[in-house]
Amino acid sequence: MVAAKERCPVCGKGTLHAGRVNEGLFGVDLGSFDAETCDACGESFLSSKSMDALESRAKELGLWGLASKVKVARSGNSLVVRIPSPLARYLKMKSGQEVLVAPDKGTRLVLELA
């Protein structure tokens, strides 16, 4: 845990103050947690106790471990990205289901379920 009135390790200019911050994962609100927040850059640092609480909440909601690296494969002229089964179960995706695929900000891929 970061001590009160400590200098911000990110910007080096601000001072850290104890408070609560709202945290989310994959666009889902996980609630508010004890944290130290920088009064200059706004960066916040969760205590290890808060990190444990955040992880527990994410696990309760079935969100923990849903992000993973996958390889892009070729199929004919198209590229194929596998959706890992835990993610498919979370999204209730089914084989043969139609989805909308679109680029986002040049480096992201949005896959929207119908």
Least Å distance, CB 63 to Zn ion, is 28
Separation in Å, CA 110 to CA 102, 104, 113: 5, 6, 10
Q: Is 8 exposed, middle or buried (0-12, 13-18, 19+ CB in 10 A)?
A: buried
Structure tokens at 62: 């079935």
Q: Strands 16-25 and 28-38, how do they pair?
A: antiparallel
Among the residue ranges 11-19, 57-65, 74-82, 96-104, the one whose residues contact Zn ion (CB under 5 A): 11-19
- The smaller minimum CB distance to Zn ion, of residues 16 and 54, is found at 16
- Position 35 contacts Zn ion (CB under 5 A): no
Among 38, 46, 54, 58, binds Zn ion (CB under 5 A): 38
Among 14, 21, 34, 64, binds Zn ion (CB under 5 A): 14
Q: Could you list the residues that contact Zn ion (CB under 5 A)?
A: 8, 10-11, 14, 38, 40-41, 43
